[in-house]
């Protein structure tokens, strides 16, 4: 019981910054770049899954919940695959070393 309560507490505590991040990012022109679109999709998927987890704590399962849950996880799978492809693409392209130059 204690571990369940601790897990629920951390679920709730992680939901707040996830939802607030989506709300704040929605105020900028995120749709103008592929990374902006990806970041909004990823953050929204994470926030939705976390919100559903919180609803599950406080709300008894109903007929609509499994449908919304399946949709939320579908969005999360999409966003995670999208991120994986971007990361693989970035790794293949390489990037210049952005670390500060050491003085000689």
Half-sphere exposure of 26 (CA within 13 A, CB side): 9
Instruction: In whole angstroms, give the CA distance from residue 37 to residue 55.
Output: 27
Give first-to-last CA distance, the chain, whole Å: 59
Q: How many CA atoms lie within 13 A of 14 on its CB side?
A: 16
User: Global pTM?
Assistant: 0.77
From residue 86, alpha-carbon distances to 20, 23, 35, 77, 80 in Å are 25, 24, 9, 14, 10
pLDDT tens digit sequence for 48-101:
999 999 988 887 677 888 888 899 999 999 999 999 998 898 888 876 566 666
């Amino acid at each position: 019981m204690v571990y369940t309560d601790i897990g629920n507490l951390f679920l709730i505590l992680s939901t707040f910054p996830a939802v607030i991040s989506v709300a704040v990012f929605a105020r900028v022109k995120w749709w103008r770049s592929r990374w902006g679109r990806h970041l909004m999709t990823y953050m929204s998927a994470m926030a939705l899954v976390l919100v559903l987890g919180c609803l599950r704590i406080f709300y008894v399962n109903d007929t609509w919940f499994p449908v919304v849950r399946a949709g939320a996880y579908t969005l999360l799978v999409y966003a995670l695959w999208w991120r994986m492809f971007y990361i693989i693409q970035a790794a293949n392209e390489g990037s210049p070393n952005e670390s500060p130059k050491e003085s000689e």
